[in-house]
Amino acid sequence: MCTFDTDKIYLTWKKDTLSKRHIIGVLTRDDNQYFFKYLPDNLAIAQQSGFSYYPAFDNTKKVYKENVIDVFARRLLNPARRDYDDFLKYWGAENYKDDIFAILGLTGAKLLTDNFEFIAPHQEYPASFNTNISWINVDSEQVVNSIKQLPIDVINQKIMLLPEPENEFDSNAVKVLFDNDKLGYIKSIHCKNIFDAIAAGYKVKHKVANIIKNGTIREILLKINIE
């Protein structure tokens, strides 16, 4: 199960699956009050890529206080569904079944109909969380074919996390290697959590929690443990 110890989670957006992820807003909790606001500097950069606003919150200069958690909760699976417990288990959120804020942060609340995703920072130590690999290197036949064919326990032995401070887009970037070939990157916010943990001397363990394949690699979910 995952850990969750934060009073803020970030709303991110990207133009399409191959584009850069932008942190465009922050959802915060103060006791039982919830607030959402856009982050002006990040927003300006995202707007250059075509972002306008989240459909329910069109005033990018306003701090929203009314019905905020209810609006975002609509992105989550209906708790009445039979597979709801499986959904929570997949994301390690079983302990937060009655905490919508935590479930948003731990699961990302992604939809097939848009490119928004919540990401929770994990600055608590020890920490445990699931994260999708971004920028999966589907152009490498060796990487794709190996991952499609090998069992997960063998894949785990071949995966390594490598901080990449010289990365031109993010000085906190963490590259994911497979058999010394680039597999992809840890996504925004989580990469800083891992980068900082490694720099501080914490032990960072990782394993593949799930792989979705459909002709090629669609998604790789990693379970990260920082000790």
- The answer on pLDDT for 84 being more than 90 is yes
Predicted pLDDT at 61: 97
> 171 and 149: one domain?
yes
Identity of residue 35: F
Q: Which of 97, 119, 141 is the last residue of a domain?
A: 119
Predicted pLDDT at 213: 86
pTM: 0.94
Predicted pLDDT at 18: 81
Burial of 65 (0-12, 13-18, 19+ CB in 10 A): exposed
> 114 and 150: one domain?
no
| pLDDT (tens digit per residue) in 30-81 | 998 999 999 999 999 999 999 999 999 999 999 999 999 999 999 999 999 9
Query: Does residue 214 or residue 186 have the better pLDDT?
Result: 186
Spatial distance between the Cα atoms of 138 and 165, rounded to a whole number of angstroms = 23
| pLDDT (tens digit per residue) in 102-155 | 999 999 999 999 999 999 999 999 999 999 999 999 999 999 999 999 999 999
Q: How does DSSP classify residue 137?
A: -
What residue numbers bound the domain in which 208 lies? 127-226
Long-range contacts of the stretch 210-215 (C-beta < 8 A, 24+): 210/90, 211/147, 211/152, 211/155, 213/147, 213/148
> 112 and 135: one domain?
no
- The answer on pLDDT for 95 being more than 90 is yes
Identity of residue 169: F
| pLDDT (tens digit per residue) in 181-211 | 999 999 999 999 999 999 999 999 999 999 9
> 70 and 95: one domain?
yes
Residue 2 domain-assigned (yes or no): no
> 98 and 158: one domain?
no
> 133 and 115: one domain?
no
Counts of helices then strands in the chain (DSSP H, E): 7, 10
The answer to whether 75 touches 111, Cβ cutoff 8 Å, is: yes
DSSP structure string for 79-105 = TTSTTHHHHHHHTT-GGGTT-HHHHHH
Predicted pLDDT at 111: 96
Residue 1 domain-assigned (yes or no): no
Spatial distance between the Cα atoms of 54 and 46, rounded to a whole number of angstroms = 12
> 132 and 112: one domain?
no
Q: Which of 119, 154, 186 is the last residue of a domain?
A: 119
In total, how many domains does the chain have? 2
> 109 and 173: one domain?
no
- We report the CATH number of the domain holding residue 168 as 3.30.70.2330
The answer to whether 116 touches 27, Cβ cutoff 8 Å, is: no
Query: Does residue 128 or residue 17 have the better pLDDT?
Result: 128
> 61 and 20: one domain?
yes
For the residues 158-162, what does the mean pLDDT come to? 97
Q: Where are the beta strands (DSSP E) in 39-156?
A: 116-119, 127-134
Predicted pLDDT at 216: 86
> 110 and 202: one domain?
no
> 110 and 152: one domain?
no
Residue 191 domain-assigned (yes or no): yes
Q: Which of 71, 102, 119 is the last residue of a domain?
A: 119
> 28 and 112: one domain?
yes
Query: Poorest-confidence range of 48-52, 87-91, 188-192, 212-216?
Result: 212-216
